[in-house]
Amino acid sequence: MNRARVGPPPAAGRAAPPRAARRRALGIAGATLALAGLGTLGQFVARRAANAPTPYRYRVVAEAEAAGFRELGLDEHPRLPVRKIELLPEGATAAAALAYAAAPPGAAPVLLGWDNRGAEPLLRPDMRAGEIAALARSVRQHVPAGATVLAWPDTSRQLDLLAGTKAVHSAPLLAPLLLPASWRSARRAIEASEHRFWQGSSGAEAAARFARYVDALVAPYAEGLAALRALIEPGAAHLIVQLSDAYRAGVMRPERFAIGWRDFTPGTQLHGTIAGVKAWLAAQGHRSYAIDARDPAVLRVFFLTDAPSQDTLVARLLPFSTSNPFRLEAPRILHQQGPYWVYRIAGSAGHARKEEG
């Protein structure tokens, strides 16, 4: 059997290499070209998927200063440019979601409200504009100007705009997008479309920092707290979380945080409805749960489906039945504002002061 030659190639005028070696060289070249072709084909398929039509479209139905949208409650920002936007599923004439977005000059839009009109969240959880405005007022009253905020990117950008904070996650990061089953085959197209419409960030550093934040939330309590402190080292920050953050963290890290939700229609007696909800939870074996009763038309119940999820940092920070945020020594709770829970957390170098501030 002929073996590959080791050493320099033959000089000009010398005999050609054996036929088997030539066949092997041609085979290697062919394989290289095939791999290059597959790579090009993969890029073409990805580009084509990203440019494919989405199962919905956005329609801007009004543009005005914030003073023209009294429902937003932005009395402190009357001149802020705002757009009212409808999400229309393919073939539909009625909006499936209604959004408000600030349009600050020279910056990506800042989502100020998102109202899902159907039973299932589309792309994002509900964000009530009035609650966001109330949170911003509370932060301006209780948090020093320019203070560092650690929160989900949409909350972070809202507070940077409306309350003058300095968020750790200030880039317009869109993950995760909540897709119904019928839309999941169009994920690439949807992600690309959302990125274009909302001018989403593609910075690797910002994405990696946000990934660390999500990992900290779904880590066991002590481990997660240490990870959050490392994110804000060496200073301190105001940590702000809500139940929808826990759900989105579970969507991003389902293997580490098991969470589900279900809506219940309230009866004429709220107490009786909650009793029915608790009976359903007990029958399903869900010991840890939190009830969101802000909407008079529906009770939304978030529940944890395994025991390890109950001891995660995010579960301890929120009012699940197996947690009590007011009893946490660290981080130190400052107050609750609507669905938002506001804490003070010190960096690694200062945590011995027990989140003093």
Q: Measured between alpha carbons, how far is 126 from 122 in angstroms, rounded to an integer?
A: 9
Evaluate if residue 96 carries a pLDDT over 70: yes
Q: What is the CATH number of the domain that holds 155?
A: 3.40.50
Sheet architecture: strand order including 81-89: 56-65, 81-89, 97-102, 110-116
- 11 pLDDT exceeds 60? no
Which tokens hold the place of 112? 């100020």
Q: What is the pLDDT of residue 27?
A: 61
Q: What is the pLDDT of residue 17?
A: 52
Cα→Cα distances 226→153, 216, 222, 241, 252, Å: 20, 8, 6, 17, 20
Asked if residue 325 lies in contact with residue 319, where contact means CB atoms within 8 angstroms, the answer is yes
Quick: pLDDT tens for 118-172: 989 999 999 999 999 999 999 999 898 899 999 999 999 999 999 999 999 999 9
**What stretch of H or E contains 238?**
strand 236-241
Query: Which is higher by pLDDT, 30 or 211?
Result: 211
What is the model's pLDDT at position 351?
Answer: 58
Q: Do 218 and 357 reside in the same domain of the chain?
A: yes
Mean pLDDT of the residues in the chain = 88
Identify whether residues 153 and 121 lie together within a single domain: no
How confident is the model over 320-351, as pLDDT tens digits?
A: 999 999 999 999 999 999 999 999 999 876 55
Q: Indicate whether 22 belongs to any domain.
A: no
Q: With pLDDT > 70 as the criterion, what percentage of the chain qualifies? A: 82
Do 108 and 157 fall into the same domain? no
Domain check: are 195 and 142 in the same one? no
Given its phi and psi angles, is residue 13 left (phi above 0), alpha (psi -120 to 50 degrees) or beta?
left
Is residue 270 included in any domain, yes or no? no
Q: Are 187 and 319 found together in one domain?
A: no
Do 99 and 149 belong to one domain? no
Arithmetic mean of pLDDT, 85-114? 96
| Same domain, residue pair 195 and 68 | yes
Is 289 within a domain? no
How many domains is the chain built from? 2
Assess whether 103 and 211 both reside in one domain.
no
Q: Which of 21-30, 195-204, 264-273 has the lowest mean pLDDT?
A: 21-30
Residue 266 domain flag: no
| Residue 347 · residue 337 · CB < 8 Å | no
> Nearest to residue 128, comparing CAs of 161, 158, 171?
158
- Looking at the domain assignment, is residue 278 inside a domain? no
What is the rounded CA–CA span in Å between residue 250 and residue 260? 8
Condensed to tens digits (0 to 9), the pLDDT of residues 179-201 reads 999 999 999 999 999 999 999 99
Residue 335 dihedral angles phi and psi, to the nearest 5°:
-170, 170
Residue 350 sits in the same domain as residue 215: yes
Q: What is the model's pLDDT at position 310?
A: 98
**pLDDT (mean) for 65-77:** 97
In a domain, 45, yes or no: no
- Token pair listed for 342: 């506001």
**pLDDT tens across 285-329, in order?**
999 999 998 888 899 999 999 999 999 999 999 999 999 999 999
216 and 116 in one domain? no
Higher pLDDT among residues 352 and 305, named by residue: 305
Residue 82 lies in a domain: yes
Residues 249 and 348 in one domain: yes
Question: What per-residue confidence (pLDDT) applies to 349?
Answer: 65
215 shares its domain with 82: no
User: Is the pLDDT assigned to residue 356 strictly greater than 50?
Assistant: no
Q: What is the pTM of this model?
A: 0.84
The range of the structural domain enclosing residue 67 comes to 52-127+180-202
- Please give the order of strands across the beta sheet that includes 299-304: 259-264, 299-304, 288-292
User: At CA 330, angle to CA 329 and CA 335, rounded to 5?
Assistant: 85
Residue 247 in any domain: the answer is yes
